[in-house]
């Protein structure tokens, strides 16, 4: 959704806030379903998704990420601390309803992810690399993304754009940690971001006031869209290459076949880079759109 001069000058109409909210929710829900159908329920989708993950895993030998840190932060104790911290920000601002909304986002997003992964979105064994239990969406990334959304909701106006940038960086850090360590595939991380964003669109309150740092938000919009589009083109090219390589006819594809058969590793590198661009673009774009809902109509700041 392109930023307008009305955004840059400072205000947006309440009706546009409602439209943005509903459109965001629908896009997120449809995107999660489409992602599951394409990346999990098809042999080609599983191959491309796993290829990107295998290439990203190779980064662990270059710059290993401390797994214990991620487990400590994304744990019951870490989640409790996050919930308390987010609620306190709203309470200090004397925004009790806002605190409740933020806590619901955190709880709702994580519950949704567990329901989807455990009961609603199965992962069939289509002979790609190794059989794995359902892993879409990523639980670790959902916690990180929901935290980012809650932060955007509760901070004062002057800090909203900063919170979008911090939240995007935090979510991507945790998401890429799960990829580099081989816990999840890119589709799992992307689905987690979309689940958290859907809850953000549903519960981010409409508020009155000028849109701070609107030009920076416009930069975020353009860069996020560029990253998502370029990444999408790259993944499409990889899918075409993998489909035309002929090795999808094998009964079971090992990691070695996936990472070497197509383009001697070049295809895998493109898949990994494209997945990273898509995750970055979608995350930044979703958080930026949620941020805009908070500045359009409704109560005091």
Single out the residue of 168, 188, 177, 285 nearest to residue 229, CA to CA: 285
How far is Cα of residue 269 from the mean position of the Cα atoms in its chain?
21
Residues 6+ apart with CB under 8 A from 84: none
* pLDDT for res 40: 94
Non-local CB neighbours of 145 within 8 Å, separated by 6+ positions: 109, 167, 171, 175, 192, 193, 195, 196, 197, 283
Which tokens hold the place of 246? 């002929």
Rg (CA), the chain: 20
**Are the C-beta atoms of residues 142 and 110 closer than 8 Å to each other?**
yes
* pLDDT at 299 (0 to 100): 41
Q: Name the DSSP class of 58.
A: G
Query: Computed from CA positions of residues 184, 186, 189, 192, in that sequence, does the dihedral angle turn out positive or negative?
Result: negative
The model's pLDDT over 166-224, given as tens digits with 9 standing for 90+, comes to 999 999 988 988 888 888 899 999 999 999 999 999 998 776 666 667 788 889 999 99
Going 30 to 225 to 184 to 249, the CA torsion angle's sign is positive
Residue 81 main-chain phi, psi, to 5 deg: -65, -40
How many Å separate Cα 6 from the centre of its chain?
28
Sequence-ordered list of residues with C-beta below 8 angstroms from that of 6, at least 6 positions apart, any chain: 12
Cα–Cα distance measured from residue 201 to residue 169, given in angstroms and rounded to the nearest whole number: 20
The per-residue pLDDT for 212 is 64
Distance CA 117, CA 107 (A): 16
Residue 208: predicted pLDDT:
61
Predicted confidence at residue 156, as pLDDT, reads: 81
- Give φ, ψ of 128 to 5 degrees: -100, 110
Q: Where are the domains of the chain?
A: 5-293
Q: Helices 96-115 and 186-203: crossing angle, nearest 10°? A: 150
Angle at 14 between CA 11 and CA 15, to 5 degrees: 125
Model-level pTM? 0.87
What values do phi and psi take at 253, rounded to 5? -100, 120
What pLDDT score does 79 carry?
A: 67
d(CA 1, CA 29): 17
Numbers of helices and strands, H then E, in the chain: 12, 0
Residue 258 CB coordination number (10 Å): 25
List, for the chain, all residue ranges whose pLDDT scores fall below the cut of 70.
Answer: 1-17, 60-79, 130-132, 207-212, 247, 250-252, 254-264, 294-301
DSSP three-state, residue 207:
strand
């Amino acid at each position: 959704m392109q930023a307008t001069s009305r955004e840059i000058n400072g205000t947006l109409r309440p009706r546009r806030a409602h439209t943005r909210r509903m459109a965001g929710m629908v896009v997120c829900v449809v995107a999660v379903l489409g992602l599951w159908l394409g990346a999990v329920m098809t042999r080609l989708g599983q191959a491309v998704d796993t290829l990107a993950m295998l290439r990203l895993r190779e980064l662990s030998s270059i710059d290993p990420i401390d797994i214990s840190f991620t487990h400590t932060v994304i744990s019951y104790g870490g989640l409790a601390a996050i919930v308390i911290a987010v609620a306190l920000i709203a309470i200090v601002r004397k925004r009790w309803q806002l605190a409740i909304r933020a806590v619901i986002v955190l709880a709702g997003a994580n519950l949704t992810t567990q329901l989807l992964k455990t009961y609603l979105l199965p992962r069939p064994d289509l002979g790609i690399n190794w059989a794995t239990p359902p892993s879409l969406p990523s639980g670790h990334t959902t916690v990180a993304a929901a935290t980012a959304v809650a932060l955007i909701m509760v901070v004062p106006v002057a800090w909203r754009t900063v919170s979008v940038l911090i939240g995007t960086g935090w979510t991507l850090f945790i998401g890429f940690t799960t990829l580099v360590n081989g816990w999840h595939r890119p589709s799992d991380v992307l689905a987690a971001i979309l689940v958290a964003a859907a809850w953000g669109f549903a519960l981010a309150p409409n508020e009155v006031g000028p849109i701070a740092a609107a030009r920076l938000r416009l930069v975020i919009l353009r860069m996020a869209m560029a990253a998502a589009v370029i990444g999408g083109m790259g993944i499409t090219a990889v899918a075409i290459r993998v489909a035309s390589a002929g090795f999808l006819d094998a009964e079971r594809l090992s990691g070695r076949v996936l990472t070497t058969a197509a383009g001697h590793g070049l295809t895998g590198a493109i898949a990994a880079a494209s997945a990273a661009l898509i995750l970055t673009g979608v995350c930044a774009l979703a958080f930026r759109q949620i941020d805009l809902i908070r500045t359009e109509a409704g109560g005091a700041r």
